[in-house]
Chain A
Amino acid sequence: MATLNLLILVSLAYVALLFIIAFVADRLAVTGRSTWLRTPLVYTLSLSVYCTAWTFYGAVGYAARSGLEYVTIYLGPTLVMVGWWWGLRKLVRIGRSQRVTSIADLISSRYGKSNLLAIGVTVLAVIGVTPYIALQLQSITLSFSIFFRDEGRSYSDTTVVLWVAAGLAVFAILFGTRNLDANERHHGVVTAIALEAVVKLVALLAVGIFVVWGMSGGIAGTMARIDASPIGQWQVDGGRWAAITFLAAAAFVCLPRVFQVMIVENDDERHLRTAAWAFPLYLLLISLFVVPIAAVGLDVLPPGSNPDLFVLTVPLSQGKDGLAMLTFLGGFSSAMSMVIVAAMALSTMVSNQIVMPIWLNARGGGASVSGDVRHIVLLSRRIAIAVIMALGYFYFELSGGGTALASIGLISFAGVAQILPALVGGLFWRGATRAGALAGLSVGFALWTYTMLLPGIGGGVITDALMQNGPFGIGWLRPHALFGIEGMDPTVHAVMWSMSLNATVFCLVSMAGFPGPLERLQGAQFVNVFDHSAGPRGWTGSVAQSEDLMIMSQRIMGAREAVDFFRREAASQGGRGHLPEPTPLFLDRLERELAGSVGAATAHAMIGQIVGGSSVSVEDLLAVANESAQLMEYSSQLEAKSAELSRTARQLRDANAKLTQISLQKDAFLSQISHELRTPMTSIRAFSEILRDTEGLAIEERNRCASIIHDETLRLTRLLNDLLDLSVLENGQVNLNLSRGNLGDVLDRALSTALTGVERPLSVRRRGSAEAVTINTDLDRLAQVFINLIANAQKYCDAERPELTVSVHDLNGKVAVDFIDNGSGIPKEVQAVVFEKFFRISGEKAGGAGLGLAICREIMHRLGGEVAYLGGHSGSAFRVSLLAESEVAAR
């Protein structure tokens, strides 16, 4: 009883200690006094997040079951650290230059910021890591259960797991989402993990030393015990060794939690160099006593004891409660650090790659990070952590908690390893495409699910029948014997198929397609990251660069302003001359100054190019492109505006010219009317005054005066009538009175009207047969036109025996009526203007105002026909044409 209570007390105290350490480290990091935290040692220790409860408890169990095979779990990361540290360095460099926040972010960045890919990787990671989290829950539960049983108390697996899961979730939320850091760094967590790494190492070494020197009497005794145990006789299976070593190596690179501490939390890529030897050393130390503990456990504990718990049960069996408690803390540390970092990393992926894009889209753009967004991010991460923990819990419940720790771990490893082809391909092969990555991932994920994950969950999803006979009885689709390859170890089988097909599909699809522009840009950035980026952060530069900066600034700000600015800056630095030292402070100010002219992104990229202190990232380039696009947009808008203005100006000019012309026409018209009115009025006035003023006027003279006045009055009336008629016709207010009639009848009427009572005779020649045409028009108006033309001929024909020929003929479906006289005709030069108002052939004084033909033209226009002067005749020749059965639109 006392032990259990003490254990709980110690555990709580330990958690509190971790909390305080994390809190203090965060504080120091904020105030910038955390240099002692940013050491290669802390970095190396934090990498031990790789070593989970599986390593802590499971390795011994693994050794007890499968001999030295457990070494592969350590061998993989060791090979990566020693043999591939340059690849890791590349990852770290990319992570920094691209501000990568997770492995999903890295993959999506590489393949043209593909959201789909990010979601795919995130989902894969969540599903892949879920069994792993279940594994941690199981290990903590198991270790608790030992103490419970030791106390002889009733014990419920489910309850404990639930509490442990909830506790860890709260812990992860408190630790991992306390605040939001732009670079996704968590100094507090990393420091706490480093401490936990020490605790687990010390605990395992302590048990190991106790077993070797306390129980077996030294190294020789231990060796003897090992030889005596079954471990000595285990055969090494080459295939499994290779497969699991590869899996461990792949997982080490791809596991979200390792990626988090190794890439995202990395402060200085030089730390990697230390870690390259220090971390393998850590692995060596932590694995040193695995075999002795397993051998002694198998030896001293009753058969059937769970070898996964030898680390705890061996000291307990020897009555070393204190040591067992330390071991418990070690295991607890392992589980806790894994769960916290994994939950943190996964929640970052979920919130950044899934929740935020959806949320921002739903809000319709507006990607500015306001307090509101911050709140959403934190909330989504907290929920994500809770959900991930719940998934782990349910997986534990589903799998029954019975499976050995090691095999659950391998399922997880194989899951996240599916990311490897896309990751490595993206790092070293510029031809890798988004489609390839997506296809490879999908294929690998599907195969892994089918051959490993579902069989691992056991009963329900994949039935025994399916395992035996394949789906629908198709033998070659059996999960553990795909394509007829039988007798292979299930793990090796799954790894071989999923990884090889994943990589093959990835390569084939990549080669078949062609990367998009953003992918190619990002591909170059990733593959050649060392050419593009420099190590240190921030701006640095030399005085020589100051001159370049000056030249550039002069172009942007203007020569005088730039010189003034540089001189001011130089003076504020306490120097002489006009060139300041390119200190970060100065460069920041210059950037702000330039940003006012060319935009922030362009300014940043320009200074970056000259100073070279920071790479010009794709985001920078895109931002520059955006700014340019905006400028071009503005300029094209201006251009459009200016074109519109000049168009409007032209329209105004045209309208003005038209108005001027109309005004001139109006003036001329008024002047003409005035003249036409004044002339008869002059006669009327003169003769009426004569009548009034002259005494003794002879009767003949008086009659003469009166008749002139009468004539001139008629002339005035005629003129006014014509003017009104023309005005009505021109304004379109005329009412047409359509009716059917015979053309010949209309001509008869017109001739008799025009020629009745005239002094000078005009002989008319007609051909009656052709005139028998039915027309549908305003017959009175048509007659008016005819009368006008006949009267003109009667008045103006200058032949000795005036003669008018009226001929009717068909003209392409129209009726043409020609009026041709035998006079001298109208001079060619005025033929074009005979229809204009007030036109009169000079010298003619027949009392007309020159409106008759204008009226004829308007009438024919209204009737849908026309009247024209016919050239080519010796006399005057007019043609009236109209539709035979015309449907005159009442206009």
Chain B
Amino acid sequence: MGRQVLLIEDEPNITEAIRFLLTRDGWQVATHADGGNAVDVIRAIRPDLVILDVMLPGKSGIDIVRDLREIEQLRALPVLMLTARGQLRDREMAERAGVTRFMTKPFSNAEVLAAVRDLNAQASGG
């Protein structure tokens, strides 16, 4: 099964941290920092998993997920959403938009790794 993860995050230090973490765990990590063309990038890369920030320049993470779910081939793509806004309202909105899993910053590294593994296993199994 594929081990490619696309990380879309505009905060360079966070990007660096996650990339370090996942790379050491054996994942191929691609990164992107802009929301505006995120969907095109996803379509081009066809990752097995997308880690998506909410507050992105150009387009919000929520809108990106909505767009993804409109696209036939990307409907089942697992999306792990990271957000600095941890309110219930934001979580609900994300789930309605089609986010697979929702995680509030600041997260622990173990949590992220577990979530990535879990989502990948589900996608493979299903």
Given A675-B84, A678-B84, A679-B84, verify A690-B105 contact (CB < 8 Å): no
Stretch at the interface among B15-23, B39-47, B91-99: B15-23
Q: Which A residues, 695 to 733, have Cβ-Cβ distances below 8 Å to chain B?
A: 701, 708, 711-712
Q: How far, in whole Å, are A683 and B55 apart by their CA atoms in the complex?
A: 16
Quote the shortest CB–CB distance from A838 to chain B (angstroms).
Answer: 11
Query: B84 near A674 (CB under 8 angstroms)?
Result: yes
Other than A686-B106, A845-B57, give 16 A-B pairs with Cβ distance below 8 A: A671-B87, A674-B86, A679-B11, A679-B14, A679-B84, A681-B105, A682-B106, A683-B14, A684-B106, A685-B106, A686-B109, A693-B109, A711-B13, A843-B57, A843-B58, A845-B12
Q: Residue B10 at the A interface, CB < 8 A?
A: yes
Q: Which B residues, 1 to 45, have Cβ-Cβ distances below 8 Å to chain A?
A: 10-14, 16-18, 20-21, 24, 34
Q: How far, in whole Å, are A647 and B58 apart by their CA atoms in the complex?
A: 47
Quote the shortest CB–CB distance from A251 to chain B (angstroms).
Answer: 104
Q: Residue A842 at the B interface, CB < 8 A?
A: yes
Q: Which B residues, 50 to 67, have Cβ-Cβ distances below 8 Å to chain A?
A: 55, 57-58
- What are 9 of the A-B contact pairs (CB < 8 Å)? A678-B84, A678-B105, A679-B84, A682-B17, A683-B14, A686-B18, A689-B110, A701-B20, A842-B57
Q: How far, in whole Å, are A842 and B109 apart by their CA atoms in the complex?
A: 28
Q: Residue A687 at the B interface, CB < 8 A?
A: yes
Q: How far, in whole Å, are A679 and B107 apart by their CA atoms in the complex?
A: 11
Contact with A along B84-122 (1 / 0, CB 8 A): 111100000000000000001111111000000000000
Quote the shortest CB–CB distance from A638 to chain B (angstroms).
Answer: 47
Given A674-B86, A678-B106, verify A683-B17 contact (CB < 8 Å): yes
Closest to B20 in A: A690
A-side contacts of B16, CB under 8 Å: 708
Query: B57 near A683 (CB under 8 angstroms)?
Result: no
Residues of chain A touching chain B, judged by Cβ–Cβ distance below 8 Å, are 671, 674-676, 678-687, 689-690, 693-694, 701, 708, 711-712, 842-843, 845
Quote the shortest CB–CB distance from B15 to chain A (angstroms).
Answer: 10
Given A682-B105, A685-B107, A694-B24, verify A712-B58 contact (CB < 8 Å): no
A-side contacts of B110, CB under 8 Å: 689, 693
Closest to A670 in B: B87
Among candidates A690, A701, A711, residue contacting B21 with C-beta atoms closer than 8 Å: A690
B-side contacts of A671, CB under 8 Å: 85, 87
Q: How far, in whole Å, are A693 and B21 apart by their CA atoms in the complex?
A: 10
Quote the shortest CB–CB distance from A122 to chain B (angstroms).
Answer: 90
Closest to A672 in B: B85
Among candidates B21, B85, B108, B109, residue contacting A675 with C-beta atoms closer than 8 Å: B85
Quote the shortest CB–CB distance from B18 to chain A (angstroms).
Answer: 7
Closest to B107 in A: A682
Query: B17 near A674 (CB under 8 angstroms)?
Result: no
Closest to B82 in A: A682
Query: A683 near B11 (CB under 8 angstroms)?
Result: yes
Given A675-B85, A678-B86, verify A690-B13 contact (CB < 8 Å): no
Query: B109 near A689 (CB under 8 angstroms)?
Result: yes
A-side contacts of B85, CB under 8 Å: 671, 674-675, 678
Query: A681 near B106 (CB under 8 angstroms)?
Result: yes
Closest to B17 in A: A686
Quote the shortest CB–CB distance from A686 to chain B (angstroms).
Answer: 4
Residues of chain B touching chain A, judged by Cβ–Cβ distance below 8 Å, are 10-14, 16-18, 20-21, 24, 34, 55, 57-58, 84-87, 104-110
Query: B10 near A845 (CB under 8 angstroms)?
Result: yes
B-side contacts of A694, CB under 8 Å: 24
B-side contacts of A708, CB under 8 Å: 13, 16-17
A-side contacts of B11, CB under 8 Å: 679, 682-683, 845
A-side contacts of B13, CB under 8 Å: 680, 683, 687, 708, 711-712
Query: A686 near B58 (CB under 8 angstroms)?
Result: no
Specify which of A684, A686, A689 lies most central, judged by the most chain B CB atoms within 10 Å of its CB.
A686
Among candidates A676, A685, A843, residue contacting B108 with C-beta atoms closer than 8 Å: A685
A-side contacts of B108, CB under 8 Å: 685, 689
B-side contacts of A686, CB under 8 Å: 14, 17-18, 21, 106-107, 109
Q: How far, in whole Å, are A198 and B103 apart by their CA atoms in the complex?
A: 127
Quote the shortest CB–CB distance from A690 to chain B (angstroms).
Answer: 6
Q: How far, in whole Å, are A693 and B113 apart by their CA atoms in the complex?
A: 13
Q: How far, in whole Å, are A686 and B51 apart by their CA atoms in the complex?
A: 15
Closest to B59 in A: A842
Q: How far, in whole Å, are A269 and B20 apart by their CA atoms in the complex?
A: 127
Query: B14 near A682 (CB under 8 angstroms)?
Result: yes
A-side contacts of B55, CB under 8 Å: 675
B-side contacts of A684, CB under 8 Å: 106
Query: B58 near A690 (CB under 8 angstroms)?
Result: no
Closest to A693 in B: B109
A-side contacts of B21, CB under 8 Å: 686, 690
Quote the shortest CB–CB distance from B27 to chain A (angstroms).
Answer: 15
Closest to B87 in A: A671
A-side contacts of B107, CB under 8 Å: 682, 685-686
Quote the shortest CB–CB distance from A781 to chain B (angstroms).
Answer: 31
Specify which of A671, A680, A683 lies most central, judged by the most chain B CB atoms within 10 Å of its CB.
A683
Q: How far, in whole Å, are A701 and B85 apart by their CA atoms in the complex?
A: 30
Q: How far, in whole Å, are A450 and B123 apart by their CA atoms in the complex?
A: 132
Closest to B10 in A: A845
Closest to A675 in B: B84
Q: How far, in whole Å, are A112 and B45 apart by their CA atoms in the complex?
A: 107
Q: How far, in whole Å, are A847 and B106 apart by their CA atoms in the complex?
A: 18
Closest to B109 in A: A689
A-side contacts of B87, CB under 8 Å: 671
A-side contacts of B12, CB under 8 Å: 845
A-side contacts of B105, CB under 8 Å: 678-679, 681-682
Q: How far, in whole Å, are A676 and B55 apart by their CA atoms in the complex?
A: 11
Quote the shortest CB–CB distance from A682 to chain B (angstroms).
Answer: 4
Q: How far, in whole Å, are A689 and B18 apart by their CA atoms in the complex?
A: 11
Closest to B15 in A: A683
Quote the shortest CB–CB distance from A705 to chain B (angstroms).
Answer: 8
Q: How far, in whole Å, are A685 and B84 apart by their CA atoms in the complex?
A: 13
B-side contacts of A843, CB under 8 Å: 34, 57-58
Query: A682 near B109 (CB under 8 angstroms)?
Result: no
B-side contacts of A689, CB under 8 Å: 108-110
A-side contacts of B58, CB under 8 Å: 842-843
Q: How far, in whole Å, are A708 and B12 apart by their CA atoms in the complex?
A: 10
Q: How far, in whole Å, are A679 and B14 apart by their CA atoms in the complex?
A: 8
Closest to B104 in A: A678
Query: A687 near B17 (CB under 8 angstroms)?
Result: yes
B-side contacts of A845, CB under 8 Å: 10-12, 57
Quote the shortest CB–CB distance from B91 to chain A (angstroms).
Answer: 13
Closest to A686 in B: B17
Pick the 9 closest A-B CB pairs, nearest first. Answer: A686-B17, A678-B84, A683-B13, A682-B106, A682-B105, A675-B84, A843-B57, A685-B106, A689-B109
Q: How far, in whole Å, are A592 and B93 apart by their CA atoms in the complex?
A: 74
Specify which of A690, A694, A708, A842 lies most central, judged by the most chain B CB atoms within 10 Å of its CB.
A842
A-side contacts of B17, CB under 8 Å: 682-683, 686-687, 690, 708
Closest to A676 in B: B84
Quote the shortest CB–CB distance from B59 to chain A (angstroms).
Answer: 10
Q: How far, in whole Å, are A701 and B17 apart by their CA atoms in the complex?
A: 11
Specify which of B13, B58, B109, B110 lies most central, judged by the most chain A CB atoms within 10 Å of its CB.
B13
Q: How far, in whole Å, are A610 and B16 apart by their CA atoms in the complex?
A: 103
B-side contacts of A682, CB under 8 Å: 11, 14, 17, 84, 105-107
Quote the shortest CB–CB distance from B47 to chain A (angstroms).
Answer: 21
Q: How far, in whole Å, are A180 and B120 apart by their CA atoms in the complex?
A: 114
Quote the shortest CB–CB distance from B1 to chain A (angstroms).
Answer: 25
Q: How far, in whole Å, are A679 and B105 apart by their CA atoms in the complex?
A: 7
B-side contacts of A675, CB under 8 Å: 55, 84-85
Closest to A681 in B: B106
A-side contacts of B109, CB under 8 Å: 686, 689-690, 693
A-side contacts of B18, CB under 8 Å: 686
B-side contacts of A680, CB under 8 Å: 13
B-side contacts of A685, CB under 8 Å: 106-108
B-side contacts of A687, CB under 8 Å: 13, 17
Closest to B24 in A: A694
